Amino acid sequence: MRTAPARPHVATRSRRGAALLTALLIVVLVTTLSAAMVWRQSRSIQIEAADRGRTQADWVLQGALDWARLILSEDVKSGRSKAAQSDDLGEVWAVPLAEARLSSFLSQDENKSEDAGPDAFLSGHIEDAQGLFNLRNLETQPTQPQAGQPPDAQAVQKALDNLNAARRIFQRAGMSASIAEQVQKSLIASAGGKGTDQQGDVPLRPARIEQLRWFGLNEEQVARLGTLAVLLPKAGTTLNLNTAPREVIADVLGVDLGVADSIVRTRQSNAFTVWDDRLASLVPGLPSTDTRRAMAAFTSNYFFVEGQLRMDDRILAQRSLVFRDGTNVRVMDRQRLLRQSALPGTPGYGTAP
């Protein structure tokens, strides 16, 4: 029995099926490649927009910092007309900038609507860095006298006063006084002084209070200590009695909180400029010969400037340390703050990296 020959229309139908399958595969391939290209282009646009936003935010925060520097410089000029200069919380620099729409600062065109563009809000404040105890003062040690010469009694007493103040500060922060002594040894070693490591290893020199974790303090201890003390670039700074909180005044001068409260209440009506009879009457336990008087003053050179920019659900904050030398105000340190949300009325809210 002979097999019937293949019908022509069956072969044609097979070729059409193969062509259709090939066309479908090509469509899938083109679609996949197109989707990848679109995603890649979209990703590039997002990255470019984010970079542009960060750059713009940096410029805004830099402008806010320059504005604060100008305010501090003008404060010196306005104070030259006074009989005695002082820095206190009643001056212009101490007034915080409440959150305001950025367009209110930038828009000079009367025809330009403040609602144009994305919502951006700027806020900030200036803090007196010398309103806290400078732990860098613990690095100051009396020099070794020459052979046959007695030690400098005044320098020895100054170092002891700083250490005693640090002990009280650490105790108020919930730590033992011995931790203050350990921190002092580490600070002296990190500054190139005599360390305790027989191998000659010198610890890193911290530049900020949160970097005391390098010396073994935990995050909670550093947070409590940060409300009372600071680490400034140089030792030998004084505490500004016009801006310091009562707890710091009490611990630095070695007086009780009642005396410190009296100082705070008195300065609110009339800031101090010198150790006059008015101030001396508030601290009778500190006669004119007491070396603790030299730890306090009434002017400041170091300030913290903090600016915050809020755009939609993003918050960018920057904290800078500036040094004022006459009318010249220069930036000493700058850091970004990690901030999840803004809390009205709490300018210090945030965590430094």
Residue 158 shares a structural domain with residue 271? yes
Residues of the chain with pLDDT under 50: 193-198, 342-353
Domain membership flag for residue 336: yes
The predicted structure's pLDDT at residue 195: 43
Domain membership flag for residue 316: yes
Residue 246 shares a structural domain with residue 278? yes
Structural domain ending residue among the three candidates 276, 295, 314? 295
Residue 174 shares a structural domain with residue 267? yes
Domain membership flag for residue 350: yes
d(CA 146, CA 14): 108
Residue 37 shares a structural domain with residue 101? yes
Residue 181 shares a structural domain with residue 267? yes
Residue 103 shares a structural domain with residue 120? yes
For the chain, the domain total comes to 2
Residue 139 shares a structural domain with residue 275? yes
Burial letters 261-290, b for 16+ CB under 10 A, else e: ebbbebbeeebbbebeeebeebbeebeeee
Domain membership flag for residue 4: no
The predicted structure's pLDDT at residue 43: 78
The predicted structure's pLDDT at residue 23: 79
CATH number for the domain harbouring residue 17: 3.30.1300.30
Residue 195 shares a structural domain with residue 283? yes
Distances (CA, A) of 339 to 47, 315, 326, 335, 343: 22, 7, 33, 12, 10
Each residue's pLDDT tens digit, 112-153: 555 555 688 999 999 999 999 999 999 987 766 656 667 778
Q: Which domain holds residue 95?
A: 13-107+115-131+301-353
Residue 291 shares a structural domain with residue 158? yes
Structural domain ending residue among the three candidates 261, 276, 295? 295
Structural domain ending residue among the three candidates 269, 295, 321? 295
Domain membership flag for residue 127: yes
Domain membership flag for residue 96: yes
CB proximity list for 18: less than 8 A, separation 6 or greater = none
Residue 26 shares a structural domain with residue 97? yes
* HSE-up of residue 287 (Cα within 13 Å, Cβ side): 1
Residue 185 shares a structural domain with residue 201? yes
Strands 314-325 and 328-337: antiparallel
SS3 229: strand
Residue 45 shares a structural domain with residue 123? yes
Domain membership flag for residue 326: yes
The predicted structure's pLDDT at residue 146: 58
Domain membership flag for residue 233: no
The predicted structure's pLDDT at residue 254: 94
- Distance between first and last Cα of the chain: 92
